[in-house]
Amino acid sequence: MNNTPIITFSQSNKGKRVLVCDGYVYHLNKSCSKVKYWRCENRLCAAVIHTDINDQFKVRKGDHSSHLSSPEHIEILSLKSNIKQRVVTEATPIGRIYDEEVAKAQLSQTALSIVASAQDAKSSLNRIRRLETPLLPKSCRFDIPTLYNHTINVERFLLYDKMRRNKRILIFATDDQLRVLFKAKHILMD
């Protein structure tokens, strides 16, 4: 009979890879040329898992006699990882991303009671998004990231980008916005 436990991987709050096995979370303690050593996230616990370099289970040592497993913690860890991934890759408002992911995760009652509210998580998620947002350019010679060339619905957004004598003209608009503009009887400019 095969007693090999099922291991999965997730991300910690700090973005590091963690191993999940039987309701317990393990952090990478040491990595050698052939073996990775994972220790229980509870520092008082002596439980460790060894995997090969390809993350295949090799051996488990020690037990978790000093603490209980926390499946809710693992649910929330997975939820946070999914939210952070979307915050970095999408321009959708953070509150909406948070609410959608909480609904999609189908958390247990216990996990729902301990997960942070969207308002509480907003400042840290804003910080994560700011780290991924390009810095303001110091000159007009810069490339516009592809994220800003199209809308969320993958419609053209950057209409015009020309540079003449160290001056740059950028025009942003969707085709729908242009249709509305051209149908208008009066156009006011500033």
**Residue 151 falls within a domain, yes or no?**
yes
**Residue 2 falls within a domain, yes or no?**
no
Which regions of the chain does DSSP assign to beta strands (E)?
7-11, 17-21, 24-31, 35-40, 48-52, 57-61, 158-164, 167-172
How many other C-beta atoms lie within 10 A of the C-beta of residue 151? Answer: 13
How many other C-beta atoms lie within 10 A of the C-beta of residue 157? Answer: 19
Are both 96 and 127 inside the same structural domain? Answer: yes
What's the distance, Cα to Cα, between the start and end of the chain in Å? 77
Are both 75 and 118 inside the same structural domain? Answer: yes
d(CA 53, CA 31): 8
Residue carrying the six token digits 């957004």: 157
Residue 86: φ, ψ to 5°:
-70, -40
Q: Using the predicted structure, report yes or no on whether residue 1 has a pLDDT greater than 70.
A: no
**Residue 66 falls within a domain, yes or no?**
no
Among 2, 3, 52, 47, which residue's Cα sits nearest to residue 23? 47
Last residue of a domain, one of 61, 89, 105: 61
Please compute the mean of the pLDDT values over residues 11-23 and round it to a whole number: 87
Are both 78 and 123 inside the same structural domain? Answer: yes
Please compute the mean of the pLDDT values over residues 38-63 and round it to a whole number: 92
134 against 114, higher pLDDT: 114
Domain count, the chain: 3
- Residue 2: pLDDT band with limits 50, 70, 90: low
The domain of 165 spans 146-183
Are both 75 and 125 inside the same structural domain? Answer: yes
Residues 94-112: pLDDT tens digits?
999 999 999 999 988 988 8
Residues 139-155: pLDDT tens digits?
888 888 887 888 888 88
Are both 125 and 167 inside the same structural domain? Answer: no
**Residue 137 falls within a domain, yes or no?**
no
